[in-house]
Amino acid sequence: MQASAAVVTGAGGGVGRAVAAALAAKGVPVAVADSDPATLAVTADKLAADGARVLPVPTDVRSPAQARALIDAAEEHLGPVAQLVNAAGVLHVGEACRLSDAQWEECIAVNATGVFAVSRAAAERMVPRRSGSIVTIASNAAGTARTGMGAYAASKAAAAMFTKCLGLELAERGIRCNVVAPGSTDTPMLRSMWSSDADRRATLDGSPGAYRVGIPLRRVASPDDVAAAALFLLSDAAAHITMHTLTVDGGATLGV
């Protein structure tokens, strides 16, 4: 019988790549997915060079058909999917009244509908086996209002609550569903919001004018910090944890 496998979306970079690498380092066969074939190839090549068993599957998580094809490919080539990490995401910033329809729709489609489509496809496989673990990478913005981040925060809140509802429905089948809520993390997404070192300092210091607290631990998270939280929730060490949000933000939301 084939070993159990994991699927990680958004694995072309940032948190998704870090999660895939962390799983591979533990010997887990990993199907990595991303909408950008070029960055996905970089991830797959790096993992393969390190000796991992890896399957790259270019995927647009907004498409239910592609979501199912991703899970099907993982099961066919790597083994039963026992772990899923939803790390695919996009960010559009701007005042709510000035966001375009396209910006709003893309945030909802990728960050929320994508989580629904891939989680549903994975759960369909997990339910008959009565085991599995799903982790969604959301954001601390899902529970704390942020100026200029209405679309992103709303989409992440939807993803987080969907994941918890799914966890409630699947609990009696032995499937756990949890959420990791990162704060500012050193990824291309965050760096796209910075234009100078002053912006990085402002992330640490906070901005009273924007009603934003800084980071008490005085550092921006690394993708590995977030990946470690995801691996914990996937693991047997979290066997009695489901429908939980693990916040990884250095105290930026003051533990609320």
Catalytic (active-site) positions? 152
- Rounded to whole angstroms, the Cα distance separating 50 from 58 reads 21
- Checking DSSP bridges between strand 212-213 and strand 206-207, what pairing results, if any? antiparallel
For tokens 């089948």, name the residue.
173
Strand ranges, E, within the chain: 5-8, 30-34, 54-58, 81-86, 132-137, 175-182, 206-207, 212-213, 245-248
User: Other CB atoms closer than 10 Å to residue 131's CB: what's the count?
Assistant: 14
What is the amino acid identity at position 157? A
Distance (Å) of CA 18 to CA 67, 227, 235: 21, 6, 16
Three-class SS of residue 84?
A: strand
Structure tokens at 219: 């550092």
Dihedrals phi, psi of 23, to nearest 5 degrees = -65, -45
User: Other CB atoms closer than 10 Å to residue 127's CB: what's the count?
Assistant: 15
Signed CA dihedral, 165, 169, 171, 175: sign only: negative
Give yes or no for a contact between 16 and 59, defined as CB atoms under 8 angstroms apart.
no
